Amino acid sequence: MEGTVDIFVIGGGVNGTAVARDAAGRGLRVTLAEMNDLASGTSSASSKLIHGGLRYLEHREFALVRKALKERSTLIGLMPHIAWPMHFVLPHHAGLRPRWMLRAGLLLYDNLAPLGGLARSRAIDLGTHPAGRLLKPEFTAGFEYSDGWVDDARLVALNARDAAARGAEVLTRTRVLEARRRSVHWEVDIEREGRVETRTAWRIVNAAGPWAGRLSPHLGKPYDLRLVRGSHIVVPRLDGHDQPYILQGHDGRIAFVIPYEQDFTLIGTTDIEQHGGPEEARCSPEEEAYLLDFVNEYLAHPIAAADIVWRYAGVRPLLASEAAAAAASRDYELALDAGGAPLLTVLGGKITTYRVLAEAVLAKLGIDGAWTAGVPLPGGDFDRGDKPGMVARLAADYRFLGPRWAERLITAYGTEARAILGRAKTAADLGRDFGATLTEAEVRFLVAHEFARDADDILWRRSKLGLRMSAEEVAALADWLAGAGV
Ligand SMILES: Cc1cc2nc3c(=O)[nH]c(=O)nc-3n(C[C@H](O)[C@H](O)[C@H](O)COP(=O)(O)OP(=O)(O)OC[C@H]3O[C@@H](n4cnc5c(N)ncnc54)[C@H](O)[C@@H]3O)c2cc1C
């Protein structure tokens, strides 16, 4: 049937875009529909860790942790611009998990999968180690261990971009209303720009994340999902905050305190039942207070609500039937309904396992030819150790940038940074200056290549320049985007 695609993917989060990229790279015809912007759901609201999940060891989820740790090295190698290793500091004091338990857990964490060049864990003396300066003097002992970090929203944009480069049709601001199973294919009703159209597909992948349950009855196969919210707060960079921390709370939970976007500190997360739809998830004042109290137990200089410059919330879907086992069941499930044209529903998942999840989706649909383990994402075709040299060379070739701007561009775009700068000799050659080093040349690149449409797409997902821009600057960018016809 003319126009029928091999796979129709619903959802432009990390899982949907990865399935689209992987499938397009295997030569399949793919359409992806995202109802808002790419990564507008959970995939821009995570803690951004590529990790095995130290705390899952307590639940004896060794296979889960091993799989994620193996993938950690693969991912850091495939996207050295947007992902990198981090050396976490784990302070210890009596009354928390005992020291022997932490030491044993970290030893296991180091040995479950190859470290891939990441530093081994070790005990540290916080009285002399620079990481001790941020903490109250009573924290004298601790540990250091390695994990990975990734810019989650850019990860999604790069997957979508590569999917499109390999032939996938990526439709943003396109909502799937319902789909009807015909004898051997699907009819999918989508709504874009106020119009409803019907597309046809041989298979559907429902990767709508926490919306997957709500959508599922409209695809003829209902799933009951329980939603759990996690929130983060962002404050100006804490004095002396050079390394990430993992802190243990009296309630048995943990919180991360991570250096963020050059000048900020990211703190999270909470874990709370989400009543209402995923789109209503907001960081509540109670969650803010919880996170502040949590970290102030540790910080030498406490922080207050007035320090918070940004907050965000995301929602995890858990299968309702698994609610009791929620603490441990954070991996994914792929539900295949093959009574006719296949429908595969992705339930759960982590940023860390998005690539292997996409491979598993295609394997479950009977499609072979896995290829993504060895192919970098756009801009990631360089060695991690070269990054400082790339920043220095960019700053030398484009003298007007200076080191911080050059670092931001290499971190966001890797080897593609030069495609934005072209032959510019001065900042003025990059067109209009929107503030915070955002120029017309970069905005045009994001619109042309990364599906950005409005100011939020650019300031909160393709970048985090929203942290640095005034309300007037944001309004000027929005006006320009509305009028420029880009
Ligand atoms: C607080 C928190 C912290 C986390 N931290 C980490 C971490 O540190 N490391 C890690 O590995 N994982 C982490 N995770 C998990 C990770 O963020 C998620 O597993 C992942 O982002 C899920 O991606 P997804 O593509 O399945 O869903 P989403 O990113 O939510 O994407 C689903 C998309 O589907 C779209 N959609 C929904 N309905 C429709 C429709 N009808 N038509 C078209 N589009 C539709 C939505 O707009 C959305 O963009 C965290 C999760 C949370 C909540």
Cβ pair 239, 302 in contact under 8 A: no
User: Which of 32, 37, 38, 47 has the most ligand 1 atoms within 8 A of CB, as the residue to mutate?
Assistant: 47
Query: Cβ atoms within 10 A of the Cβ of 238, count?
Result: 20
Cβ pair 236, 309 in contact under 8 A: yes
Residue listed under structure tokens 């905005």: 443
350 exposed, middle or buried (CB, 10 Å; 0-12, 13-18, 19+)? buried
136 phi and psi angles, rounded to 5 deg = -60, 150
Tell which CATH classification among 3.40.50.20, 3.40.920.10, 3.30.70.270, 3.30.9.10 matches the domain 85-148+226-315.
Answer: 3.30.9.10
Q: Is pLDDT at 307 greater than 80 in this prediction?
A: yes
Do the strands 174-181 and 5-10 form a parallel or antiparallel pair, or are they unpaired?
unpaired
Query: Over the range 370-395, which residues count as b (16 or more CB within 10 Å of their CB) and which as e?
Result: bebeeebbbbbebeeeebeebbeebb
Residue 461 corresponds to which tokens in the numbers above?
């997902």
Stretch among 248-252, 378-382, 454-458 having the lowest mean pLDDT: 248-252
Q: Check pocket membership of 18 for ligand 1, CB cut-off 6 A.
A: no
Rounded CA gap, 400 and 406, in Å?
Answer: 9
Question: Which protein residue's CA is at the shortest distance from atom 35 of ligand 1?
Answer: 11
User: Which of 351, 357, 457 has the most ligand 1 atoms within 8 A of CB, as the residue to mutate?
Assistant: 351
Q: Which atom of ligand 1 is nearest to the CA of 49?
A: 8
Total length of the chain: 486
User: Which of 42, 171, 199, 232 has the most ligand 1 atoms within 8 A of CB, as the residue to mutate?
Assistant: 42
185 phi and psi angles, rounded to 5 deg = -140, 180
Query: How far, rounded to the nearest angstrom, does the alpha carbon of residue 396 sit from its chain's CA centroid?
Result: 31
H or E element: which one contains 148? Answer: strand 141-150
Task: Give me ligand 1 centre to Cα 209, in Å.
Answer: 5
Packing angle, helices 14-25 and 152-165, rounded to 10: 30
User: Which of 350, 356, 361 has the most ligand 1 atoms within 8 A of CB, as the residue to mutate?
Assistant: 350
Q: Check pocket membership of 148 for ligand 1, CB cut-off 6 A.
A: no
- Please calculate the CA angle 370-375-380 and round it to the nearest 5 degrees: 150
- Ranges of H-type helices in 319-426: 354-364, 387-397, 402-413, 417-421
**pLDDT tens, position by position, 213-262:** 999 999 999 998 889 999 999 999 999 899 999 999 988 899 999 999 99
The rounded percent of the chain whose pLDDT value lies above 90 is 88
Q: Where are the domains of the chain?
A: 7-43+153-224+329-374, 85-148+226-315, 384-483
User: C-alpha distances in angstroms, 191 versus 199, 208, 316?
Assistant: 11, 16, 26
> Is domain 7-43+153-224+329-374 in CATH 3.30.1280.10, yes or no?
no
The rounded percent of the chain whose pLDDT value lies above 70 is 97
**pLDDT tens, position by position, 265-274:** 999 999 999 9
User: How many C-alpha atoms does 288 have within 13 Å on its Cβ side?
Assistant: 17
Task: Give me ligand 1 centre to Cα 200, in Å.
Answer: 25
Question: Which protein residue's CA is at the shortest distance from atom 19 of ligand 1?
Answer: 350
For the chain, report the end-to-end CA distance as a whole number of angstroms: 34
Q: Which CATH superfamily is domain 384-483 in?
A: Alpha-glycerophosphate oxidase, cap domain (1.10.8.870)
Q: Which atom of ligand 1 is nearest to the CA of 208?
A: 34
276 phi and psi angles, rounded to 5 deg = 90, 175
Q: Check pocket membership of 15 for ligand 1, CB cut-off 6 A.
A: yes
Mean pLDDT of 411-416: 98
DSSP states of 55-77 as a string?
Answer: GGGGGT-HHHHHHHHHHHHHHHH
Q: Check pocket membership of 176 for ligand 1, CB cut-off 6 A.
A: yes
Q: Which atom of ligand 1 is nearest to the CA of 36?
A: 47
**pLDDT tens, position by position, 58-115:** 888 899 899 999 999 999 999 999 999 999 999 998 877 888 999 999 999 999 998 9
Cβ pair 291, 270 in contact under 8 A: yes
Query: Over the range 104-124, which residues count as b (16 or more CB within 10 Å of their CB) and which as e?
Result: ebbebbbebbebbebeebeeb
DSSP states of 239-269 as a string?
Answer: TT--S-EEEE-TTS-EEEEEEETTTEEEEE-
User: C-alpha distances in angstroms, 109 versus 54, 144, 478?
Assistant: 7, 12, 46
Q: Check pocket membership of 49 for ligand 1, CB cut-off 6 A.
A: yes
From 38, 50, 36, 54, select the one nearest 90 (Cα to Cα).
54
pLDDT for res 327: 43
Q: What is the mean pLDDT of the chain?
A: 95
**pLDDT tens, position by position, 14-34:** 999 999 999 999 999 999 999
Residue listed under structure tokens 């200076």: 402
Task: Give me ligand 1 centre to Cα 14, in Å.
Answer: 7
Q: Check pocket membership of 34 for ligand 1, CB cut-off 6 A.
A: yes
Q: Check pocket membership of 215 for ligand 1, CB cut-off 6 A.
A: yes
